[in-house]
A and B are shown apart, each in its own frame.
Chain A
Amino acid sequence: MVHLPRLRSDADVATPEGAPAGPTIDLTAEEPVMWSSQDAAVIEVRGLVKHYGDHAAVGGVALDVFEGEVFALLGPNGAGKTTMLEMLEGYRRRDRGSVSVLGVDPEQATLAWRSRIGLVLQTSKMPAELTVLELVDRYAGYYPDPRDVDETIELVGLSEKGDTRAGRLSGGQQRRLDVALALVGDPELVFLDEPTTGFDPAARRAAWSMIDNLRGLGKTVVLTTHYMEEAEALADRIAILVKGRIAAEGTPLTIGGRETAPARIRFVAPPGFDPGALSGGEIGQEDDYLVITSEDVTTAVGELVDWARMEGCDLAGLEIRRPSSEDVYLELAEPSS
C-alpha cells in the first residue's frame, strides 16, 4: 500500500474567523487538526493530560495517527515525548483524556492487543547473557503469527551476530536488535522511542533506511526524536511537542505554516543604497547584508530585480528563503524573546 504524505488544504483547517493565518496552535486540544483522509485513525488521542506532582508532563494533547503513515513526535528533552508514547503503549496511566490505540484503551491492554504492536523503548534493555538468535526466537514464540526469525535478524543487519550475546553487542547493534524484537511479531503498529539517539551518522543513515523499510511493509510507525532532520527524512507527518503541548503539526513541507511564512530576501548592500527605493517588505540590515522580510515574495522579488536592473547592481550574495523546518522547530522549542 502506497501512502503519500497528506497535504493540508485550507478547508481542512478550522480557523476561527479573523484568526491570523499561520501555524495552527491547538490550545484547547479537545480536537486535533483535521486531516482529509479516508483511512481510519489507528491512534486517537483527545485531551490527554499527565502530571508528575505539580508538573504537567503532558498538558492537553489531541492527535490522530492514520494507518500506514510514519508519524514523528518531535521535541526537545523533557517535552513529554516519552511520557506520551508510554501512555499510548500501555505503560503509563493518564490523568485525563481519552486514548484509543487500534481501537483499544491502552490501560485495558490485553495480550491480543500487545500482539498487534511492536515497540522500541528509549533504552535497549535485554538479558545480556542471551544471544541475538535466542532473543529474537524467544520473542517470536510469544506471537500468534510471527515473522521468520532469520529474516528479521537480516532485516536489521545482524545476520553475522546471531550467536553473539546481547551484552557483547555495541550500543548501535543492541538498538538494532531491539528493533528486531519489535518487528518479529509482525505488528501492525510500531512505536520507536528515539530510535537513533546516540548513533554515529552512518548508523543513523542505516536506521533511517530500516525505518523506511517499515513504511514499505505497510506498518504504521510512531517515532519520537529530537532531531528535525530525522523527522523530516522519515515522517509523513510531524507534531512538535513543547512543554507537553503540540505547538505545531503538519507535513515536513507545511509544518508551522512555513510554506506561507514571510520569506527573507537578502543580498550584499551596494554602496550608497537607498532603502526607500524598495517597498515590497520590511527592510533591515544584518552586517553587510540588506534583509527584506516579505509576505508577498513575488512583488518583493519583482521590485528588487527591477531596481537592480536600473541601478546595474549584481545583487551579490542573493538568497531568498522561507523558514526551514529546523527554523520552525527552533523557534517553537526555544522561542527567541
Chain B
Amino acid sequence: MNTIALVSREAGYARRVLIRDPQNLFFTAGLPLLYLLIFATIFGDETAEIAGQPGEVDVATYMTASVIVIGVVSAAFQNLTVNLVQDREIGVLKRLRSAPVPTSVFLGGHVVNALVASALLAAGVALLGMAVYGVPFPDQRTAAAVVSVALGAVACASAAFPFTRLVRKGTAASPMAVAATLTLFFLSGNFFAGADMPRAMNLVADLFPVRHFLIAMTTAFNPNVAGAGFEWGHLGVLALWAVGGAVAGTRLFRWTPTGDH
C-alpha cells in the first residue's frame, strides 16, 4: 500500500475512534458550541475595536472567530495530546509499534483526522454564529478563513506530537494540555475582544501558534477588512509550527510507556 493510502486509512481509524466515543465527541465538538453560546450571550450587544484592524466589530463576531480557534485547538491539540499519551501509557501504541508502521504514517493519519474534525467544527461554530447572532458571512475573505482553519489545525496537531514527550503519565495529559492551552487563550486574548494586552504578554503569546491563529481568524471574520483578508505573516508562523512540530514530533515520538527502556 502506498503512503497516501496508508495515511488516509490511519485517518479513518482515528476518526472512528473519535466518533465512537460519545464522551470524547461531546467534549471535542460540544464544548466550543457551548462556549460560543455563553460568550455571545454575555457580550452579544457590544462592539469592540480590534488592535491593528479597521473599524469596530460586534463582539459576537469576534467571539465566533475566537471560539473557532478554541475549538480547533481543543480538537487538534488537546484531544490529540490526551489520546496519544493515554494510548502510549497503557500500551496501545507499543502494541501498534510491533507492526511495520512508519511513525510519519501514523502521525500523518492523526494530522488528517485533526484537519477534518477541525473543518467540521469550524463550520459548525460559524453557522451557529451566523444563525443566532447575525455574524456576517466572510464573503471575499472565505478563502482566508478556510486557509486559517486548515493551517491552524495542522499547526496544533503537529505541536501536539513533541508536546506528548513532555507528559509522562496518562493522568497528567489532560491537565497539562488544558493548562497550556488555557494559558495561551488568556495570553492571546481569546476571551477579551478588543482588550489592550500588555506588550510582554503579546511577546510571549507570539511564540506560540494560538495568537497568530486568532489574528488570522478575526481578520477573516471582520467585515471592515477590505480585500481577501489573508494575514500572511501570521499564517507563515502557523506554517512554521506545522513543519517544525511535524519534524520534531516524528523524531521525538515515543511509542512505549514512560519507564519502559
A contact residues vs B (CB 8 Å cutoff): 86, 89, 91-93, 111-112, 114-115, 117-119, 121, 123-127, 129-130, 134, 138-139, 141-143, 165, 178, 181-182, 185
Q: Is the interface of A mostly helix, strand, loop or mixed?
A: mixed
**Contact of A114 with B99 in the complex, beta carbons under 8 Å:** yes
CB distance from A124 to the nearest CB of B (A): 8
The 8 Å CB contact of B92, one of A93, A125, A142, A182, is A125
Distance of A120 Cα from B13 Cα, bound (Å): 21
**Contact of B98 with A114 in the complex, beta carbons under 8 Å:** yes
CB distance from B84 to the nearest CB of A (A): 12
Q: Does B100 contact A (CB under 8 A)?
A: yes
**Contact of A138 with B102 in the complex, beta carbons under 8 Å:** no
The 8 Å CB contact of B94, one of A91, A118, A142, is A91
**Contact of B20 with A129 in the complex, beta carbons under 8 Å:** yes
The 7 closest A-B pairs by CB, nearest first: A111-B100, A125-B91, A129-B20, A114-B100, A115-B100, A142-B99, A129-B17
Distance of A118 Cα from B99 Cα, bound (Å): 8
Mark interface residues in B51-92 (1 if CB within 8 Å of A CB, else 0). 000000000000000000000000000000000000100111
Given A125-B94, A141-B9: A130 touches B16 (CB 8 Å cut-off): yes
State the interface size on chain B (CB cutoff 8 A).
23
CB distance from B6 to the nearest CB of A (A): 6
**Contact of B94 with A139 in the complex, beta carbons under 8 Å:** no
Q: List 19 A-B contacts (CB under 8 A).
A: A91-B260, A111-B100, A111-B101, A114-B100, A115-B100, A119-B98, A121-B91, A124-B95, A127-B17, A130-B17, A134-B13, A138-B13, A141-B1, A141-B6, A141-B9, A142-B6, A178-B95, A181-B99, A185-B99
CB distance from B100 to the nearest CB of A (A): 4
Q: Does B199 contact A (CB under 8 A)?
A: no
Given A91-B94, A119-B98: A130 touches B13 (CB 8 Å cut-off): yes
**Contact of B9 with A138 in the complex, beta carbons under 8 Å:** yes
CB distance from A33 to the nearest CB of B (A): 30
**Contact of B100 with A127 in the complex, beta carbons under 8 Å:** no
Q: Which of A92, A127, A178 has the most CB of B within 10 A?
A: A127
